[in-house]
Amino acid sequence: MKKREISTAMLFIILFGIVSLFSDMTHEGAASIRGAYLSVLGASAGTIGFISGLGELVGYSMRYVFGKITDRTKKYWPMVIFGYILDILAVPALALVGEKGWLAASLLLVVQRMGKAIKKPAKDTIMSFAASQEGVGKSFGIQEMLDQIGAFLGPVMLYLVMLFKTEGSSFDIYRTCFAFLAIPGFITILLLFYTKMKFPNPEHFEPESKKEEAFHMKKSFIYYIAGISFFAFGFIDYSIIIMHITRNYTAVAGSLQETSAIINSGSIPLLYAGAMLVDAIAALVFGHIYDKNGVKALVISTIISAPFSLFIFGFNSLPALYFGLVLWGIGMGAQESILKAAVTSMVPKKNRATGYGIFECSFGFFWFLGSWLLGVMYSISLAAMIIISIAAQLLAIPLYLKVARVK
């Protein structure tokens, strides 16, 4: 029986996915303890929500600018490489902040998001070129799966660091964790240069359109942007979730050796790792559903994931917390795979980086507003925060259905 050879496009998708795997080990490892670290450094719930949202606002809003630059210059690889270097270096630099240095840590987190802003439109665009040969839902699903394997391994690595680093304050232990994240960061940069060397012109995967198409906002794209904006507003940032867990399930403010009856605070990264594992599986499943059913896949994933805040914040129960994190992971899987895959079918090749820029700018702006408001609401009324979160996500559904009906 003749073995089926892997296509060049799929080889690129997998190799670029492995780059993302080590990249996600770095910054998602950081994300698993970011909220707890900021809390130890002295930041309040509202401040953590604001910082998380501001980072997303900078990271997403600037993507429109860098998307336009990428479309104009066609310098895909330089944008990707510079963005990755900035993104990766900012994470281990968090090990260098002072014991009350939440402001310095916040600035580094914003720099990290700026790195993502520079790389993402170019990265998603060259991914879409290869995906055009293999199916966009499947291709972005594969990349997201590899992303989230890294997002799983990063927190697990930090858990092992915490397991062996038992001496010192919470601050000392977290700082050691950030220093260790330089290892996958270095591997990311090496693999990135190897991928560029092997595939110097990924734009050749997708043929040029025969007719000149000026970019304009189709009705379907407008409805889509409105839908993902509601979703982003209601999707609570993990920094707020992990802060809630550290305040209610552990004694992290004292020492990582202290435990409650429910969760050992040293195992906090494993909760994020579990959510990322769910994310990886959901990305593959919903990527497949998207290739068959289009944006209706988003309707399904949103209905499933929207109630996550009720289970995480509404009950003081370990099973409810775990179930809520599973639902949150499903929402993340859909967000990172099919949300991006949908843009490919709505925007022509020559303007795709701009399309991704508009998509991610809108997403980031409403993520910022939602993170800030929901972070403030956390301190005022958990019930109101939960209602706003669920309602905003569900409001996206009729807009997704509109996308399916219009051209």
Residue ranges covered by each domain of the chain? 10-200+217-405
Q: Give pLDDT, residue 68.
A: 84
According to DSSP, the residues that pair with 264 across neighbouring strands are 259
The yes/no answer on whether domain 10-200+217-405 falls in CATH 1.20.1250.20 is yes
Q: Give pLDDT, residue 262.
A: 45
How far is residue 76's CA from residue 67's CA, in Å, rounded to a whole number? 10
Q: Give pLDDT, residue 393.
A: 95
How far is residue 6's CA from residue 81's CA, in Å, rounded to a whole number? 26
Element housing 299 (H / E) = helix 296-305
Please tell me whether the overall predicted TM-score, pTM, comes out greater than 0.85 for this model: no
Burial class (CB in 10 A: 0-12, 13-18, 19+), 1: exposed
How far is residue 312's CA from residue 198's CA, in Å, rounded to a whole number? 44
Collapsed DSSP state (helix, strand, coil) of residue 274: helix
- Distances in whole angstroms, Cα of residue 192 to Cα of each of 13, 163, 302, 403: 13, 31, 33, 35
Half-sphere exposure of 189 (CA within 13 A, CB side): 12
What is the full per-residue pLDDT of the chain (407 aa) written as tens digits?
455 577 888 899 999 999 999 999 998 888 778 777 887 887 776 777 677 667 767 777 788 788 888 888 888 999 999 999 999 999 999 988 888 878 888 888 888 888 988 998 889 889 888 887 887 788 888 888 888 788 888 888 988 888 887 777 888 888 999 999 999 999 999 999 999 999 988 888 877 665 555 556 678 888 888 998 999 999 988 878 888 887 787 654 344 333 344 455 556 777 877 888 888 888 888 888 888 888 888 899 999 999 999 999 998 888 899 999 999 999 988 777 777 777 777 777 777 888 888 887 888 788 878 888 898 898 889 999 999 999 999 999 999 898 877 75
Q: Give pLDDT, residue 211.
A: 59
Give tens-digit pLDDT for 49-84. 677 667 767 777 788 788 888 888 888 999 999 999
Burial class (CB in 10 A: 0-12, 13-18, 19+), 46: middle
Question: Cβ atoms within 10 A of the Cβ of 193, count?
Answer: 13
